Amino acid sequence: MSPSQESRSDGASRQAPLTDYEDLSRSADFLRQLDAASRTSNPLKRFPPEHEKRFREDARAKFGQARALTSLLPALMLVTSPLWGQPLMHPPAGFIELIRAFEFALIVPLCLVSAWMLWRRPSSVIGETLFMVSFLVLAVTLEWLRHRGISMGFHLSPSLSSCVLVGFIVIGRVPLREAAAFVALYLGFMLFSDWVREAGAPPVRNPVDWLVEGIFIGVVISGAMWNELYSRRNWAAQQLLKSLAYVDPLTKLPNRRAFEQHYESVARHARREYKRLFVALVDMDHFKNLNDHHGHDYGDGVLVEIGLVLSDFARRPLDMAARLGGEEFALVLYDCSRADGLRRLEELRQQVEALDLANAGTARGHVTISAGGVGVHADVPLAEAYRMADTVLYAAKRQGRNRTVIADSAQAGSAVA
Ligand SMILES: Nc1nc2c(ncn2[C@@H]2O[C@H](COP(=O)(O)OP(=O)(O)OP(=O)(O)O)[C@@H](O)[C@H]2O)c(=O)[nH]1
């Protein structure tokens, strides 16, 4: 059987791990797409659907707190309006009461609730929706007040609702499509408010007001386009960088750096939950012989094939299989006892043997692996776990290869769990 050279782009779904290195195991095609996206000049260009979804989730998490602060701005502006609104605009008495009623009964509470939700959970979809709703209500209310003000002989100017639009969309980093929908709604409401004015009443906006509105809307749309473009470029560049830094290019498994970082996070998690970890080193037997007999390309194909088996083996969210280098791989299994670790390693060994990949010139004639494992307490550093696993791996090699050995407390002392 000849090993497959396909990369792991088979779409096998995994649950969310502590670290997301395996999500980066992409096909070369996707890396090319990311590279192009990191240099694009088209803010409307989307990523493929599943990546678009991740981009949006990441953007929501990244800008959540900025949106929370943006929500506080109108609340602050409205609460302090008695200090600046009256001296600046001299509204008639009845109009002030109307403004206060809207401010304190509707807009300030809405802004505060969305700020609170987004501050606590920046990625909250409800928080983000409330953020958009609160600004829509604010813009519509200001527009309505402007409309009412005219019939009371008061001209609300400059256009406060346009300022709100700029703050909300540009500072709050609203995605381009939502921003465009918001602007369209706002424009529609402005036209509507002009259309429903009483017969004989002056227009809600004179030509200069419309010019100012146009300038504000231009600023909003161009700001939203730049925000979108740079968010997309940055996200693509970050993904590309992570792929190159944390993923082994041949097997598409996480590399040593990713494994070390994952071990740190998983060990912290295990300490909090009083769980054990099982760490193993897996090494292919007689790999030099395989390269010599079948060629380096075949050797690479075998590594890819073993990578697929290992990645399938470590499917649980907190488990990880990584390629440390050459023909050596590492595994960390979360909440796994020594007995379970031994059983699972043995299954892995049999699975590799069952692939029946040729390794001519060796006694068995096919590809085999040796594995050394150790169950550790969560406070054991990775270097120590490596050292113990390496000792038993060496024992497995000495005992004739194609076998699994795990460390006992005599070999590893109190570190063994
Ligand atoms: N094809 C291929 N070979 C690699 C790669 N990385 C390392 N190797 C080869 O893997 C071989 C490892 O050889 P050794 O360390 O002697 O191990 P071994 O022959 O498997 O012997 P044992 O581990 O004792 O069973 C070397 O010949 C390396 O050139 C790779 O990415 N692709």
Q: What is the CB < 6 Å shell around ligand 1?
A: 250, 283-289, 291, 296, 299-300, 303, 326-327, 397, 401
Q: What is the mean pLDDT of the chain?
A: 85
Asked if 188 and 76 sit in the same domain, the reply is yes
pLDDT in tens, 276-314: 999 999 999 999 999 999 999 999 999 999 999 999 999
Angstrom distance (rounded) from CA 345 to CA 338:
10
Average pLDDT over residues 365-377: 95
From CA 335, how far away is CA 341, in angstroms rounded? 10
For position 411, what pLDDT does the model report?
A: 57
Residue 22 lies in a domain: no
Domain stops at, among 243, 275, 305: 243
Decide if 118 is inside a domain.
yes
Q: What is the C-alpha separation between 280 and 391, in angstroms, rounded?
A: 11
249 vs 145 pLDDT, higher one: 249
List, as one string, the DSSP characters of 265-333: HHHHHHHHHT--EEEEEEEETTHHHHHHHH-HHHHHHHHHHHHHHHHHHT-STT-EEEEEETTEEEEEE
Residues 308, 393 share a domain: yes
What residue's CA is closest to ligand 1, atom 11?
Answer: 288
pLDDT at 21 exceeding the cut of 70:
no
For helices 207-246 and 28-37, angle between their N-to-C axes, nearest 10 degrees: 150
Nearest Cα neighbor of 30 from 13, 12, 51, 44 is 51
Shared domain check, 135 and 105: yes
* Bridge partners for 371 per DSSP: 282, 404
Give the distance (Å) from ligand 1 centre to CA of residue 336: 30
When mean pLDDT is compared over 27-36, 161-170, 372-381, the highest value belongs to: 372-381
Task: Count other C-beta atoms under 10 Å from residue 316's C-beta.
Answer: 14
User: Are 126 and 175 in a shared domain?
Assistant: yes
Nearest CA to ligand 1 atom 27: 288
90, part of any domain: yes
Distance CA 169, CA 150 (A): 27
Task: Specify the range with the lowest mean pLDDT, choosing from 17-26, 143-152, 161-170, 209-218.
Answer: 17-26
Lowest mean per-residue pLDDT among 183-187, 280-284, 403-407: 183-187
Mutate to test the pocket of ligand 1, among 5, 253, 285, 291 (most ligand atoms within 8 A of CB): 291
User: Has residue 19 been placed in a domain?
Assistant: no
Q: Would you say residue 43 has pLDDT above 80?
A: yes
> Domain span at residue 205?
34-243
Q: Are residues 98 and 236 in the same domain?
A: yes
Q: How far apart are alpha carbons 17 and 212 in whole angstroms?
A: 50
pLDDT at 68: 92
Give the model's pLDDT for residue 274: 92
Does one domain contain both 326 and 369? yes
Q: Identify whether residues 209 and 335 lie together within a single domain.
A: no
Q: How far, in Å, from the CA of 323 to the mean position of ligand 1? A: 13
Q: Is it the case that residue 18 has pLDDT exceeding 90? A: no
* pLDDT reported for residue 197: 74
- Return the closest-CA partner of residue 327 out of 344, 310, 347: 310
Atom 29, ligand 1: which residue's CA is nearest?
A: 288
Together in a domain, 287 and 237: no
Q: Which CATH number fits the domain that encloses residue 365?
A: 3.30.70.270
Question: Does residue 270 belong to any structural domain of this protein?
Answer: yes
Out of 195, 222, 243, a domain closes at: 243
216 CA to centre of ligand 1 in angstroms: 65
Note whether 17 and 318 are within 8 A (CB). Answer: yes
Please tell me the predicted confidence (pLDDT) of residue 410. Answer: 57
325 Cα nearest atom in ligand 1 = 6
Kindly state whether residues 238 and 329 are assigned to the same domain.
no
Strand pairing report for 369-376 and 277-284: antiparallel
Domain-located, residue 387: yes
Asked if pLDDT for residue 184 goes beyond 80, the answer is: yes
**pLDDT tier at 170 (50, 70, 90 boundaries)?**
confident
172, 307: one domain = no
- Position 16 scores a pLDDT of 40
3-state percent helix, strand, coil for the chain, nearest multiple of 5: 65, 10, 25
Q: Give residue 211's pLDDT band: very low, low, confident or very high (50, 70, 90).
A: confident
Query: Which atom of ligand 1 is closest in space to residue 296's alpha carbon?
Result: 1
In one-letter notation, the amino acid at residue 378 is A
> Mean pLDDT: which of 13-27, 163-177, 388-402 is highest?
388-402
End position of a domain, from candidates 215, 243, 271: 243
Residue 8 maps to a domain: no
Asked if residue 24 is part of any domain, the answer here is no
* Nearest Cα to Cα of residue 123 among 217, 192, 178, 54: 54
Q: Are residues 393 and 306 in the same domain?
A: yes
Say whether both 204 and 302 belong to one domain: no
Question: How many structural domains are present in the chain?
Answer: 2
